[in-house]
């Protein structure tokens, strides 16, 4: 197949593009900056309908990963990239006669703040999702799945907490804060959390493309299927990355209040001209919530629907992280 992959400059997008190419597909990537990789590149903004139409022309399928994923930012930016970009790609895919579309989403689109223990993929809900990223991704998933038809088979894949060597989001932030002595454990650190090693996430997304005619119209959460207490998980990541594990704990109510205070300061800095904008807050209420509640998912339906199982265990992923060059940890 001829497949367009958006967001291939990121860790997961790059892994998806490479996996597709390894399996014999002709891959085109749409991204903002040249990556110098082996795939045909189209450079530009995923929210530009004209550029997107050019990129999608002649493609049999689209895998859409490009998104604004920052912790903070203006709603208009999330709306433009995550919602507008998805709409442009769906419209272009239909116009070009593509037959398959995989929307890479997030479990946060269905998370209203409560612990998730053995949960399935609930419906995306932009009204109840927490934060600009989750709300915009929820709206985007609804747009994508709303385009599912006999002509265009659409599957939404929600990989949970993807990580691996070279990850600047989850791993990079954990290690940076640990090395600076600013990484606490919230509460007892016993809430179970599942994650997804990057190889497994890429395999699942490619499986969704392969199985789109059978799995179309569904949203599927993807994880390693190995939940671990969050305090233990963070300590394991720190050790694998050569950073000291957390040495102090913060009660959850204190963390929530501190997060609210940081958000208030952020709002003031954004509203007052001349004040520096905070782009990497040390804590927010959403982050406090994520670090103190359970997040693990029943994977039986996902694995059956995709005919897929993870091939890299959590412990093997940690070994690979530890073996990676220091610049990739």
Respond yes or no: is residue 197 known to be catalytic: no
pLDDT for position 277: 67
Backbone φ, ψ for residue 325 (5° rounding): -55, 150
Q: Per-residue pLDDT for the chain (329 aa), expressed as one digit of tens each?
A: 999 999 998 999 999 999 999 999 999 999 988 877 789 999 999 999 999 999 999 999 999 999 998 877 889 999 999 999 999 999 999 999 999 999 999 999 988 767 777 888 889 999 988 889 999 999 999 999 999 999 999 999 999 999 999 898 889 989 998 999 988 888 888 999 999 999 999 999 999 999 999 999 999 999 999 999 999 999 999 999 999 999 888 888 887 787 777 777 766 666 667 667 666 676 677 777 777 788 889 999 999 999 999 999 999 999 999 998 876 77
| pLDDT for residue 327 | 65
Per-residue tokens: 270: 């954004």
| Cα gap 261→254, rounded to integer Å | 11
Beta strands at 249-250 and 185-186: parallel, antiparallel or unpaired: parallel
- The per-residue pLDDT for 275 is 66
Catalytic residue among 78, 101, 133, 197: 133
Domains along the sequence of the chain with CATH? 2-160+196-223+296-312 (3.40.50.720)
Separation CA 237–CA 189 (nearest Å): 14
Confirm if 111 and 129 have CB atoms less than 8 A apart.
yes
pLDDT score, position 254: 84
Residues listed for the chain = 329
> What pTM did the predictor assign?
0.92
CA nearest to 209, candidates 286, 134, 71, 99: 99
Check residue 232 and give its pLDDT.
95
SS3 label, residue 134 = helix
């Amino acid at each position: 197949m001829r497949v367009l992959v958006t967001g291939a400059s990121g860790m997961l997008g790059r892994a998806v593009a490479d996996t597709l190419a390894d399996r014999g597909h002709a891959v085109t990537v749409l991204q903002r900056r040249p990556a110098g990789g082996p795939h045909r590149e189209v450079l530009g903004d995923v929210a530009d309908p004209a550029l997107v139409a050019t990129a999608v022309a002649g493609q049999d399928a689209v895998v859409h990963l490009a998104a604004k994923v920052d912790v903070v930012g203006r709603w208009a930016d999330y709306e433009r990239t995550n919602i507008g970009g998805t709409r442009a790609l769906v419209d272009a895919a239909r116009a070009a006669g593509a037959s398959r579309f995989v929307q890479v989403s997030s479990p946060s689109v269905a998370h209203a703040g409560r612990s998730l223990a053995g949960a399935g993929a609930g419906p995306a809900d932009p009204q109840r999702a927490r934060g600009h990223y989750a709300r915009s991704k929820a709206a985007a998933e609804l747009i994508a799945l709303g385009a599912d038809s006999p002509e265009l088979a659409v599957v939404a894949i929600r990989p949970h907490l993807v990580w691996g060597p070279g990850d600047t989001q989850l791993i990079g932030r954990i290690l940076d804060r640990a090395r600076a002595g600013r990484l606490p454990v919230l509460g007892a650190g016993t809430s179970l959390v599942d994650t997804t090693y990057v190889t497994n996430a890429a395999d699942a997304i490619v499986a969704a493309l392969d199985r789109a005619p059978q799995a179309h119209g569904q949203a599927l959460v993807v994880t390693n299927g190995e939940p671990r207490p969050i305090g233990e998980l963070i300590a394991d990541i720190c050790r694998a990355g050569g950073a000291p594990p957390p040495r102090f704990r913060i009660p959850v109510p204190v963390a929530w209040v501190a997060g609210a205070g940081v958000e208030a300061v952020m709002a003031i800095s954004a509203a007052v001209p001349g004040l520096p904008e905070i782009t990497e807050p040390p804590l927010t209420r959403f982050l406090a919530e994520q670090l103190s509640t359970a997040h693990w998912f029943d994977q039986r339906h996902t694995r059956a629907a995709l005919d897929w199982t993870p091939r890299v265990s959590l412990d093997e992923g940690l070994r690979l992280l530890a073996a990676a060059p220091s610049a990739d940890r």
